[in-house]
Structure 1
Amino acid sequence: MDMKVESKGKVCVTGASGFLASWLVKRLLLSGYHVIGTVRDPGNEKKLAHLWSLEGARERLQLVKANLMEEGSFDGAIMGCQGVFHTASPVLKPSSDPKAEILNPAIEGTLNVLRSCKKNPSLRRVVVTSSSSTVRARDDFDPKIPLDESTWSSV
């Protein structure tokens, strides 16, 4: 049964193809929002197929290119949105320099997204999520115990 869903407005989800973001996009579409999702490569049909198969995606999902490390690259995606969910974060294999390859890009990327948010007069709310790296950065926890607030890294 194909029902018309009344649009509730426009929101942006950064890193839309990620695990958490994909579920968020699904819920937003089902709730009637028009979703602008940012991805690294909007032309990668294989990586984005799960998003295009979501109910309401053909009518209310737009995927656009944005790069965390490029200041201003989120301007177009965020402009005109009432809300932004920032879920994008660098996901890389463990490296010799996690600070340079993961931490700094995550921080700078978040600042770039927030700078774009600041330019949008119609923006009402920004939700910033975190990377699972915030709990994985520690090496002194027991892998058999589920992760919760007590296992988070220090501020």
Structure 2
Amino acid sequence: MALTGGDSGCARGGLVCVTGASGFIGSWLVRLLLDRGYTVHATVQNLQYEGETKHLQALDGADTRLRLFQMDLLDPASVRPAVEGVHGVFHLASPVTLQPAQDPENELLLPAVNGTLNVLRAAKDSGIKRVVMVSSQTAMFPRRTNRAGW
């Protein structure tokens, strides 16, 4: 499913899914895929919230090659429609909190693991051969500097 060519299993202009598409990295990936001629199934948590959908719908090519899906990572039934028929999945969706988690294992780790397993199971059940998993949460937190300022 490489974007650069070769025998990737997903020809340029194919159908792919991006979970977590409304996030910073997810929305840039959707833009790149649309720019390269792909048709994209993009998942968001809430289709009714413009903060998650408006910037995606405004992308070039979105009117004809972007379909938004509301997905709850912890609900396997909500994952399946987004991945059905695609050639590959870019899995970026994961629980994120800007506040320190009171119970990190139950609030972040277990939902991330179980959500990823739901995506992988749905991909396997749909016959998808390529899944790219990305962990992007650390990309959004400010870097802490040491005493030297770096």
Q: Distance in 2 between matches of 1:103 and 1:35?
A: 27
Aligned to 1:108: 114
Aligned to 1:117: 123
Q: Distance in 1 between matches of 2:24 and 2:111?
A: 19
Q: Distance in 2 between matches of 1:131 and 1:51?
A: 18
Residue number among 17, 22, 28 corresponding to 1:23 in the alignment? 28
Alignment TM-score, normalising by the size of structure 2: 0.81
Alignment of 1:141-152 (within 5 A): 143-144=144-145
Structure 2: 5+ residue runs without aligned partners? Answer: 1-11
Aligned to 2:83: 78
Alignment of 1:133-144 (within 5 A): 133=138, 143-144=144-145
Aligned to 1:96: 102
Task: Give the C-alpha shift of residue 100 in structure 1.
Answer: 0.6
Q: Distance in 2 between matches of 1:100 and 1:131?
A: 19
Q: Distance in 1 between matches of 2:125 and 2:27?
A: 26
Q: Distance in 2 between matches of 1:133 and 1:104?
A: 17
- More off after superposition, 65-74 vs 30-39: 65-74
Alignment TM-score, normalising by the size of structure 1: 0.79
SS of 1:12's equivalent in the other structure is: strand
Counting matched residue pairs gives: 132
Residue number among 42, 45, 48 corresponding to 1:40 in the alignment? 45
Q: Distance in 2 between matches of 1:66 and 1:46?
A: 16
Task: Give the C-alpha shift of residue 74 in structure 1.
Answer: 0.9
Q: CA RMSD in A?
A: 1.9
> Runs (4+) of structure 1 moved beyond 3 Å?
none
Aligned to 2:18: 13
Aligned to 1:52: 57
Q: Distance in 2 between matches of 1:114 and 1:96?
A: 28
What amino acid sits opposite 2:110 in the alignment?
N
Task: Give the C-alpha shift of residue 72 in structure 1.
Answer: 2.8
Structure 1: 5+ residue runs without aligned partners? Answer: 1-6, 137-141, 146-155
Aligned to 1:148: none
Q: Distance in 1 between matches of 2:52 and 2:124?
A: 30
